[in-house]
Structure 1
Amino acid sequence: MGGGPSKMAPESLMDEWRCVWGHKNKDLQFVKDYQPYNEEVKQLRVLLHGLTGAGKSSFLNSVDSALQGRVTRRALADKQLTYKFNKGGPGTFYPFVFTDLMGLEKGTNKGVCVEDIKQAMKGHIKDCYEINPCSKISEDNQNYNKDPTLNDQVHVLVCIIAANTENILDDESVIKMREVRLAARDLEIPQVAILTKIDEACPEVKADIKNVYKSRYLKKVVDDLSAKLGFTLTCIFPVKNYHSEIDTNDEVDTLILSALNMIINLGEDYVNSL
């Protein structure tokens, strides 16, 4: 995925290859109405993972912002932490949670251990476990959950990838991320890829976010992600996270909610197939 935004040409736009505009209210209502059909599931558990700096925490904040109708911020740490999303009054939450881990990094003894991501998918890691880049969690650790329930297990794996980096995925990153993806596949956990920082990657999108599904550059990135990591094209979602904004935006919300809609549907299908 070499080349870069600086090489964008006037013919950088193509016919729109996905239509999402005008669906914000429909997608938001779907999320508001959602309740898991499986009575054993109190809430869908979504696990976020990706390279450090890809925008995992920003995506979590952006989902919260789109749901709240105002820009929100949450501080994240190098622990496994699970976040609820407020729905209406105090103490009322949406029936899904996002679990966040330290990011993957190039090199050994850096970032989250791939084995820890696998254990988290199975529900073996409790919240607030202090990630150790040098070693995976042991079964005698006090934060190791020996008997995870369906609610502890991950129902959707979401991979966060930044679109604004030259050679977005080097060979080492591909190996680590494919290992995680294949582990999820073996567990039959559905997977979604979120492509962040699209406005930084593509001047046409920065000028008008509605160009996202017309950008030749982003379409190539999406196609390359599908080829390198094995995600289906329908499960790759370009988004713009809230960063410096103080107010929400309909177009930004539309992209976020479109991705969230797919995440919820895939998770619902998964828990009902067990």
Structure 2
Amino acid sequence: NSNQLPGCVVTDELLAQLDKERTAEDKGLGARLLRAAKMYAIMKGMGYNGVHIGGHNIKFEQVEYIIDKGEELSKNWMDLVHEFDYPMPNGFYVYEKDPKTGLNTTTPVNRQNLPLNDSVGVVYSGMRLMHSLAFTPHKRLFPVMRKIYKGRKNPRKHGFEHIIKVITNDCKDCGDCAMFELAYLCPMSQCPKNQRNGACGGSYNGWCEVFPNEKKCIYVRAYSRLKKYGEEGTLDSYIIPPANWDLYQTSSWYNFFLGRDHSGKIHNIPTVEEEEEAKKGK
């Protein structure tokens, strides 16, 4: 298993089984069709309304066999589950395994004693402190910052902000910052795919699929940062939308404090116009 297909894991145990099957007279075709039928049976037993059957040069007769055999096997589908248990050594699973059925239980795995996949440095602690003081609505410095940015636009403000964010996160000045939701990591500069709302699924052992053994996936890094503070569950608290390109090359701090970006909306920060309308309503 050399991870040459990102996101697709074939464990050594499964690979050994496939190698054994291909020595048969039909080069493993019968075993593959039977495996597909068993998977069909399991999916039906688990309550799925349909399955996708496909493959290179697959014939109608083979599809028919998979369906007919799958229907036959579905009566005792739970007896087949153990045949598809090829776990990665020391792999991470969200839920505890039921030793009787081989399926997941609804009990989450105890993650507290699991090691972090990436180191958490002092920079993150500093950014948390800065955010709690100045970027959290209803905290003391937030009204001050909002008042500063409500004033006339000044290129120096944007320049100062950009320098800080380039040093800390190689900021690309997208204007619609997603760092608040990703433990102060920038998906626009530190993810080759600019993934703003979840990992692509191609990482392997925590490494980015584009830069294996060179760069850790930013979602692995974000998870480690948040877990250190017991906040890993917040990763799915918000849906981060695609970047608002109308804000490109503008000050993200200006957009945040004045409620113009997606984070401002998440935190219910009113725009200047909304604030004025509210005053008129009173």
State TM-score, norm by structure 1: 0.20
State the structure with more CA Rg.
Answer: 2
- Larger helix percent: 2
Name the structure where strand makes up a greater proportion of residues. Answer: 1
